Structure 1
Amino acid sequence: MINWQHLLMTAPLVLAICTALAGAASAKKTARSLATVTAVLGFLCSAGILVLRGVQMNHLPLSSGLDFSLWLCAVLFLFTIFLLGKLRMPVVVVLLSIMIAILAAWVLSQNHEVAPMAPALRSPWLSVHVLSAMLSYSVLTVSFVLSLVIVTRKVDKTTDRLDEWAYRLVLLGLPLLTVMLVTGSIWAEYAWGSYWSWDWKEVWALVTWLVYALYLHLRVGGWRNKQAAYLNILGFAVVVFTFFGVSYLLPGLHSYL
């Protein structure tokens, strides 16, 4: 018997790969149009899966790492569509599509069964906390991709433009990280009776905030292009460890994520 749920979960991965392949030739109008179509389909599939899971759960699907990653896929597909029209740089589309494919592959490897919400997650602060985290990680992922391109190119007008975009995305990402930390603390007091428990996820979320705050401080102070890009890449490495590394290597109060 065909497992339709599992089959549906493969769609974002397949469409991310198709977007990367078409994006590699997106300097040509036909390929760019094809990449846009596959990215739109990727967004619709990711959003559709979230809607189906939400109907099954009878609430917004925000209670697991799988759901969080599906939200990330959906938003990153939207960014891909936007960048296809604005930057006209195939390498950016390819790299961003690869990031989506990695996320989608991880989602595919997870248990897709819908489970009851953990008691600690039953808080009105959950939606704001998780969605602010998801949005911040999304914009920081795009900023990372732009910085990755910067460090592989000679400094020119193009890298100046990418550097400015990367900077503006961090300007958006840091306030979202702040909202994540504040609402997470309020939620923690509700769930565990303390605003701060020195849980590993909390600690590394704070480290993430500090790294990006340092990036903005140094960027305003004069760091540009490759100098700033390397620090931005470090910041994203901390994001990845905070989301994935902590969950696997340093489980704690957030182990259900």
Structure 2
Amino acid sequence: MPVNQNLSSFSDIAFQTAFVVYAVALILSLIYYGRLNGVIDARRQRSEATVNAKKLKASVAAHGVAGADSVSSADSAEGSGSGTGGVSAADLAKQESKVDRLGGMTQSLLWVAIALHLASIVLRGLAVNRFPLGNLYEYMMMITFGALLAMMVAMQRKEWRTLWPWVLTPLLALMFYGSTKLYAESAPVVPALQSYWLPVHVTIVSLGGSLGIVSGIGSVLHLLRRWQPKGKEHGFFGAVAKPLPSAKKLDQLAYRVAVVTLPTLGLGIVLGAIWAEAAWGRFWGWDPKETVSFATWILYAAYLHARATPSWAKFAPWINVVALSTMIFNLFFINMVVSGLHSYAGLN
């Protein structure tokens, strides 16, 4: 069937607009991240001021009337937070309110961008009268959409908003690369991909990849947080890590997403093997794509096993990071450099 060029153009415009909105959201999330850093410092100053005031009250309590002025000063310092360089409760509340509004604006922008992103995928499919997973550009559209939607669903609580700069930066880089270096004009797929297995197999694999990206980012941030514990940050990386949730919460995020990633990728590999038998007459041929995909699945299984084993738990996040790296290697090097039966993107 002929390609609808109007719908194809609208798809490109929607994708480009989504990219711009994501970029604006990234800028807002960075401002939010920086201002939250200031709020955390103010909270800690106020907490320290309160503790110092209580110590002062305790030290002068035994002096009776003679220490009345000191006790009065301690009460004043404890109430306002200004006696030891802290901030007042009213100022802190106002500062927190401004930061919360900024975080809410970022969330709203992200929902708009995700809606535009979805529209670009749907319009691309309508333009070519097929499921939009026939080349690497379309696959990149799908995998970035899946990762961002998964993060939006998982990060509704305020404490997770600090992860947005860490998520948006790599995903925007993928979107930019996909829309420039990997862009392909709307066209029918090659005969080998004209199968009902295409939407089934590739959709599940792309969903597994999206979840794997989310889990991998969680482990990377967990390792950063473990190096810079909450309340004990130091140096440049300490300032960078300060607004992040605790290492325990980041580890839980990575683990819970990986629990879904493992069976999703496994199902995608099994369905791919069934399609391979129908298309090429064999279930498995150790094609480079098949081999690296299977290795990635093994790494996720190893991560979950290591995390459940006390003696290996501290090494588990590193395994998850290696799994993420293997997935990225599979996406770029295997698809674009190594020649194989899965090199269908027209880049080899």
TM-score exceeds 0.5: yes
Match of 2:255 in 1: 167
Does 2:295 align with 1:207? yes
Provide, for residues 215-235 of structure 1, a one-character-per-residue CA deviation record: whole Å limited to 9, x for no partner: 1111111243x5222111111
**Residue identity matched to 1:245:** F
Cα distance in 2, alignment partners of residues 227 and 35 from structure 1 = 34
CA distance in 2, matches of 1:4, 1:61: 14
Q: Give me the whole-angstrom Cα distance separating, in 2, the residues matched to 1:176 and 1:81.
A: 19
Shift of 1:146: 1.1
Q: 1:218 aligns with which of 283, 289, 306?
A: 306
Q: Against the structure 1 CA distance between its residues 83 and 169, is the aligned structure 2 distance closer, same or farther, given a 3 Å change threshold?
A: closer
Structure-2 residue corresponding to 1:36 = 107
Counterpart mapping for 1:64-213 below 5 A:
64-86=135-157, 88-109=159-180, 110-154=182-226, 155=229, 158-213=246-301
**Runs of 4+ in structure 1 over 3 Å off:** 3-9, 154-157
Gap runs ≥5 in structure 2: 1-8, 37-98, 231-244
Question: Given the superposition, is the C-alpha separation of residues 83 and 176 from structure 1 closer, same or farther in structure 2, using an over 3 Å criterion?
Answer: closer
Q: Describe the SS at the equivalent of 1:216.
A: helix
Extract unaligned runs of 5+ from structure 1. none
Counterpart-to-counterpart distance in 1, 2:117 and 2:177: 14
Give, in angstroms, the shift of residue 75 of structure 1.
2.1
Alignment-mate amino acid for residue 57 of structure 1:
V
Q: Report if aligned partners of 1:80, 1:97 keep a CA contact under 8 Å in 2.
A: no
Name the residue aligned to 2:74. none
Aligned residues: 254
Matched residue SS, 2:130: coil
Contact 2:135 2:184 in 1 (8 A): no
Query: Separation in 2 of the partners of 1:158 and 1:17?
Result: 27
**CA 1:4–1:170 in structure 2 vs 1: closer, same or farther (change >3 Å)?**
closer
- Could you say which residue in structure 1 is the equivalent of 2:119? 48
Name the SS of the counterpart of 2:225 in structure 1: coil
2-structure distance, mates of 1:118, 1:179: 24
Deviation at 1:82, TM superposition (A): 3.0
Judging changes above 3 Å, is the alpha-carbon distance between structure 1 residues 169 and 204 closer, same or farther for their aligned structure 2 residues?
same
Provide TM-score, normalisation by structure 1: 0.91
Partner of 1:252, secondary structure, is coil
Letter in 1 for 2:149: L
Which residue identity does 1:77 align to in structure 2? L
The structure-2 alpha-carbon separation of the partners of 1:89 and 1:5, relative to structure 1 and needing over 3 Å to count, comes to closer
Instruction: Indicate conservation of the 8 Å contact 1:150/1:159, yes or no.
Output: yes
Q: After TM superposition, give the deviation of residue 11 of structure 1 in Å.
A: 2.1
Moved more, 76-85 or 90-99: 76-85
Aligned counterpart in structure 2 of residue 11 of structure 1, from 10, 13, 17: 17
Aligned residues of 1:44 and 1:74 also touching (Cα < 8 A):
no
Tell me which moved more, 32-41 or 19-28. Answer: 19-28
The yes-or-no answer on 1:237 pairing with 2:325 is yes
| Larger CA deviation: 201-210 vs 74-83 | 74-83
SS of the equivalent of 2:224 reads: coil
Equivalent position amino acid for 2:207 in 1: L
Q: Identical aligned pairs, as a percentage?
A: 27
Q: Is the 8 A contact 1:177 1:209 kept in 2?
A: yes
Distance in 2 (alpha carbons) for counterparts of 1:73 and 1:12: 11
Partner residue, 2:66? none
Answer with 33-42 or 149-158: which moved more. 149-158
Q: After superposition, give the CA deviation of every residue in 1:27-80 in whole Å (9 maximum; x if it has no partner).
A: 521221221122112211111111111111112212111111111222223234
Report the more deviating stretch, 160-169 or 5-14.
5-14
